[in-house]
Amino acid sequence: MITSANLSKPSQPGPIGVFDSGYGGLTILKSLRAQLPQYDYIYLGDNARAPYGTRSFELVYDFTLQAVKHLFAQGCHLVILACNTASAKALRSIQQRDLPVLDPTRRVLGVIRPTVEQLGATSRSGHVGVLGTPGTVASGSYNIEIEHLNPGFVTTAHACPMWVPLVEYGEAASPGADYFVRKEIDALLAADPLIDTIVLGCTHYPLLLPKIRHYVPEGITILSQGDIVAASLTDYLSRHPDMEARLTRGASCRYLTTDAPDRFSAAAGVFLGESVAASRATL
């Protein structure tokens, strides 16, 4: 069991931890490594327990905290929850309740806030659609953040329960995926025809982007999170030189998965366009 006693030493610099329930966070990692290539990264996918999107608050919180502790024990001082479901259901508790006990100098950041910060400049109609997992949608996190930062905006959040399984099981490009992609986009736009911006509020969804683009009418902006989160982290590190000094700069990336490493390596390698060696992590 990982406790505050066996975390790596705070004085020793370490890699940036990137966590997702499965493969989706690779869309964030890819952008992070493109914009901030100098740092070392550890990617952790909890593939054995994905998807998170249909799980209870308690379980998502428990699993996410286990992952964060694992990444801390690997030497990470900074962990990005590259998962909207974990950001929606676990981030606040981890930041407010767990970090002060585990190690108040470490940081865990999410993906929802940086995404919402883009909307003021993107939406002209003030009508925003959010596509996410059932968990993210039920949490109301996007609605709360959007209306907080942009009073008067109308947010319609819509759950796409089949999209993560399509990605996790390698069906994102299959003809069968078209049915589910079209169904959810049509439902979102029927709920509010004035939507001019759609947030892909799940890090798995960019893997469905070719099909999403095909079914979203022209004139509607689709926001996917990779570059947004990478720009936000760049800004964060420039404002927090103390944290930046605690990051190692070897331009490397290690991949950990809670499921079979071979399966992860094959799927992640295809997606990232480079061969990837993964190891098994037990949380």
Identify which of residues 136 and 156 has a Cβ nearer to ligand DGL in the complex: 136
Among 47, 66, 84, 248, binds ligand DGL (CB under 6 A): 84
Catalytic residue among 76, 83, 160, 253: 83
Report the C-alpha dihedral over residues 265, 268, 272, 277, rounded to 10 degrees.
Answer: -20
Q: Whole-angstrom Cα distance, residue 7 to residue 77?
A: 10
Region of 159 (left: φ > 0; alpha: ψ -120 to 50; beta: rest) is beta
CB of 247 to ligand DGL, least distance (A): 24
Is position 50 an interface residue for ligand DGL (rule: CB under 6 A)?
Answer: yes
List the beta bridge partners of residue 197.
128, 221
Q: What 8-state DSSP symbol labels residue 15? A: P
Known catalytic residue: 160? no
**Pairing verdict, β 41-45 and 16-20:** parallel
Other Cβ atoms closer than 10 A to 59: 15
Span interacting with ligand DGL, options 46-54, 186-194, 227-235, 245-253, rule CB under 6 A: 46-54
Is position 7 an interface residue for ligand DGL (rule: CB under 6 A)?
Answer: no
Q: Whole-angstrom Cα distance, residue 21 to residue 86?
A: 8
Site for ligand DGL in 141-180 (CB under 6 A): 164
Span interacting with ligand DGL, options 20-28, 207-215, 252-260, 270-278, rule CB under 6 A: 20-28
Identify which of residues 16 and 88 has a Cβ nearer to ligand DGL in the complex: 88
Site for ligand DGL in 197-236 (CB under 6 A): 202-204
Cβ(216)–Cβ(2) below 8 Å: no
Residue located via tokens 């800004």: 235
Identify which of residues 164 and 233 has a Cβ nearer to ligand DGL in the complex: 164
Span interacting with ligand DGL, options 1-9, 44-52, 143-151, 275-283, rule CB under 6 A: 44-52
Task: Quote the crossing angle between the two packed helices 26-35 and 226-239, to the nearest 10°.
Answer: 50
Task: Look at residues 58, 53, 70 and name the one whose alpha carbon lies nearest to residue 256.
Answer: 70
Binding mask 85-104 for ligand DGL (x = CB under 6 A): x-------------------
Number of residues that bind ligand DGL (CB under 6 A): 17
User: Where along the sequence are the contacts to ligand DGL (CB under 6 A)?
Assistant: 20-22, 24, 50-53, 83-85, 133, 136, 164, 202-204
